[in-house]
Amino acid sequence: MKTVFSKTNLSAFLLLMILLPAFTSCKKDKKPTLRGEIVGEWELKSFTVDGVELKGSIVLASKMEFEAYSGSNGDFEWVVNYADGTSETASGDYTLDEEDAEVELENNDGERIKFDVEIDGDDMELSGILDGERYELKAERD
């Protein structure tokens, strides 16, 4: 009887050891979405207009902040500090087109800017046409 009991316990133990990893496996990692990746503060490292770098000469510093979506859009704020001591702040709503990897910023005055957006970890690149000029912005998560 003792032998049968030991074999049953051993079999149950082995079965448990085989099945245990299935119950404790990690849930599948979800691919991050653009909507989640853009949230946060970003410091612009490069600010070019038609291929001319403005960061360091005309633009001293610039930061963007994107808040998480609430409903059909999110809030943004973009601050630009110029070399002449002035600064400019734009704020409003942003929407993302995940499929085309585009972000559209609409400030509180109703003006809209659309950028192609690419995010790789803590690096973000925005590019688009504004008033006939090509803007390319490179930012790092702050």
Tell me the two tokens of residue 2: 């003792």
pLDDT at 31: 78
The answer to whether the CB of 40 falls within 8 A of the CB of 34 is no
Report whether CATH 2.40.128.280 matches the domain 34-141.
yes
- Per-residue pLDDT reduced to its tens digit, 11-66: 655 555 666 565 555 556 677 899 999 999 999 999 999 999 999 999 999 999 99
The pLDDT tens digits for 106-121 are 999 999 999 999 999 9
pLDDT score recorded for residue 13: 57
**Residue-wise pLDDT tens digits, 63-87:** 999 999 999 999 999 999 999 999 9
**pLDDT tens-digit map of 133-142:** 999 999 999 8
**75: Cβ contacts below 8 Å, ≥ 6 apart:** 66, 67, 91, 92, 93, 94
Burial of residue 79 (number of CB atoms within 10 Å: 0-12, 13-18, 19+): middle
> How far is it, in rounded angstroms, from Cα 109 to Cα 88?
14
| Domain locations in the chain as residue ranges | 34-141
Q: How far is CA 58 from CA 5, 53, 84, 106, 126, in A?
A: 83, 9, 8, 24, 19
Cβ-contact 66, 79 below 8 angstroms: no
